[in-house]
Amino acid sequence: MATREIISTGNELAAIAGVDAGCMFFGGYPLTPSSEIMHEISDLLPTVGGTCIQMEDEIGAICAVIGAGMSGVRTMTGTSGPGMSLKAENLGLAQMAEVPLVCVNVMRGGPSTGLPTRVSQGDILQSKNPSHGDYKSITLCAGSLAECYTEVVRAFNIADRFMQPVIVLLDETIGHMHGKAMLPTLEEVKNGIVPRKTFDGPAEEYFPYECEPTEPAVLNPMFKGYRYHFTGLHHDRKGFPTEEIETCRKLIQRLEDKVEAHKAEIESYEEFMMDDAEVMIIAYGSVSLAAKESIRHLRKDGIKAGLFRPITIWPSPAEKIKEYTDKIEKVLVVELNIGQYHSEIQRAASRLDIEGLFKVNGRPISPYEIVTKVKEL
């Protein structure tokens, strides 16, 4: 596979990925440690005829992005944890109205203002349910500089396929990491773009929310001659508000099932030295880099450790996790929070003896700390 070499930071690569994937609108508000995404894309978008707007706050940013998505263009925003909190209500609107968009969240310490310049992975559970109500969130997590690019590209295709917001998690360490990334060629990215479905029949036969029980809505771009209604209320096949019992039930069930029934299309994970592993380390994001280094040291000491790294965080690769935890006794979850994904591993594994190594002081977890913890098991 042909590749290109770029030396950059994770945040800048996320911005480059957005433009390469066809993003034409970015609405944002600067927030440490994600600000470089907007800085970079504000230079890039005008060169391809796109638009970047700095809004008055994070709420205005997500509203602008949803509006752009309604017009049919690929659209993106970037923020950090407190910004996700402000975007929450309108992320719910995008879920209900089925407006595709990509939201990159560069995680930092929290809650509230927390540790703005330090690393954390404290938004894992927030990304599962960033807004109230019943729906199925899709969240990807980059574990390398290259994935800061490739996962954003993938997020745009997933957003258009499932007609909903897709969150891409970075963390401060990987967002500000500067180094070499081997990326797919621009031609390969362009050839892999999966445009959203549209309806091209008579306008009187167009019902955007009349779809199969496990499929997303088909929303033609606004201003193209097809009339329908956007709302955050329960709605009928034309998008108009309704309280009809069965229509409401089917709508909410479909928001769940359109993702649940197609998890195989979304799930992605990495296995590192898992073929003969007797100790399974589960880590994601920048922590997985430390985990790989620790595994090399452990193996030199005769301990057969391996790494399972979820790239798709939500929906989690629960079946694969279960497959491994059924045969490997010693399992260690390593994360920069107080154990947010640890609870999901327990659920997927149907086990309560899953060990954890957590850190919440804004500092990264070192390979030495992981090695020490594994040797205690």
| Torsion, CA 20, CA 21, CA 27, CA 29, rounded to 10 | -60
Mean pLDDT of the 291-314 span? 98
C-alpha to C-alpha distances, 283 to 287, 298, 315, nearest whole angstrom: 6, 16, 16
- Burial tier of 45 (Cβ tally within 10 Å: 0-12, 13-18, 19+): buried
pLDDT of res. 194: 87
- Cα distance between residue 67 and residue 99, in whole Å: 9
Is 270-376 the same fold as 3-191? yes
Percentage of the residues of the chain whose pLDDT score is greater than 90: 98
Q: Where in the chain are the domains?
A: 3-191, 270-376
Percentage of the residues of the chain whose pLDDT score is greater than 70: 99
Mean pLDDT of the 55-71 span? 97
> Which amino acid, residue 93?
L
Mean pLDDT of the 254-266 span? 98
Q: Please say if the pLDDT value at position 267 is more than 90.
A: yes
Provide the terminal-to-terminal Cα distance of the chain, rounded to the nearest Å.
41
pLDDT of res. 3: 87
Mean pLDDT of the 326-335 span? 98
- Cα distance between residue 33 and residue 253, in whole Å: 36
Angle at the Cα of 30 from the Cα atoms of 24 and 31, rounded to 5 degrees: 125
CATH topology of domain 3-191: Rossmann fold (3.40.50)
* Confidence bin at 83 (pLDDT 50/70/90): very high
The pTM for the full model equals 0.97
CATH number for the domain formed by residue range(s) 270-376: 3.40.50.920
Mean pLDDT of the 170-192 span? 97
- The DSSP symbol for 241 reads B
Mean pLDDT of the 97-106 span? 98
Q: Are 103 and 79 in contact (CB under 8 A)?
A: yes
pLDDT of res. 1: 56
- The DSSP bridge partners found for residue 107 are 171
- Cα distance between residue 209 and residue 13, in whole Å: 35
pLDDT digits over 209-253, tens only? 999 999 999 999 998 899 999 999 999 999 999 999 999 999 999
The average confidence (pLDDT) of the chain is 97
pLDDT of res. 90: 98
Mapping DSSP onto H, E and C, the string for 343-356 reads HHHHHHHCCCCCEE
Dihedrals phi, psi of 305, to nearest 5 degrees: -100, 155
- Cα distance between residue 51 and residue 16, in whole Å: 14
Cis peptide before 315 (omega within 30 of 0): yes
* Confidence bin at 160 (pLDDT 50/70/90): very high
pLDDT digits over 197-213, tens only? 999 999 999 999 999 99
- For residue 171, give the nearest of 298, 32, 40, 16 by alpha carbon: 32
Mean pLDDT of the 57-75 span? 97
* Confidence bin at 285 (pLDDT 50/70/90): very high
- The DSSP bridge partners found for residue 271 are 308
Number of helical (H) and strand (E) elements in the chain, helices listed first: 14, 14
